[in-house]
Amino acid sequence: MRRDRPDITVLGLLLVLLAASQQSINAQSSVINVPTTDVLPPQKVYVEVDYFTHPTPYRNGGFHSFGPSIIYGVRKNVEVGLNIYYTVSSEPAELELQPNAKWRFYSDEGSGFAAAAGGIVLISLKNRAATNTTAALYLTLSQKIKMKYGPNITAGTYGFVGRMEEGETRGGLLLGLEQPLHRKVMFVADWFSGNNAFGYGSAGLGITLPKDSYLYAGYSFGNRGRGNNYLGIFFGRTF
């Protein structure tokens, strides 16, 4: 899974990006926030730099969050990862670690159907007295439509383990769509149901760059709460 968003996750603002490339755009380990059934090949490494912002003054709920995400293909159909995010807002600065893992336990290239399971742990390294360490477990199913520019559709369920804040839901459904618009450009959208750290709907564009690099940008809206939204920009490369 690519990441959890600090107090938030990408339907609104779509950034039009231009790029030249020798290859077609590839699916990645998550749509935007929802995990896909894809995994990295063995011994491959994917490194991503992420930036999120709610572009208003801190006193009005604005924030800036940034950090790296690293995914490693351990063996066939298994990958592990680590996200590190530093967030600046009106509250004390926060640093969060998010170790994660995914296992694709079924894949049929002929039919385009696949299934995967995984999890992510959210560990705050600052303000530990006021934050909870929780883990989210998920199951995802995907269907690739076998046609030119056919979409890849993801659906599944997720649930949290550990202490939750009052009013937060422990889990729900997840949906994702990867729709190629061109061999280099893809429209991406996903949604987590529920009122929690994952409860966002998101949409954006992804573009393949030279040398196995990728650029994604989009916007996320929270399921609840006025102004609960943010812009995300992600640049990654596979080694």
Between 15 and 99, the more confident residue is 99
| pLDDT tens track for 150-179 | 999 999 999 999 888 888 999 999 999 999
SS3 77: coil
Predicted structure pTM score: 0.85
| pLDDT surpasses 60 at 52 | yes
- Cβ(32)–Cβ(189) below 8 Å: yes
| Residue 158, CA distances (Å) to 29, 150, 199, 222 in order | 16, 26, 11, 17
| pLDDT surpasses 60 at 11 | no
Dist. CA 215–CA 205, nearest whole Å = 8
CB atoms within 10 A of CB 203: 21
CATH numbers and ranges of domains, the chain: 45-238 (2.40.160.40)
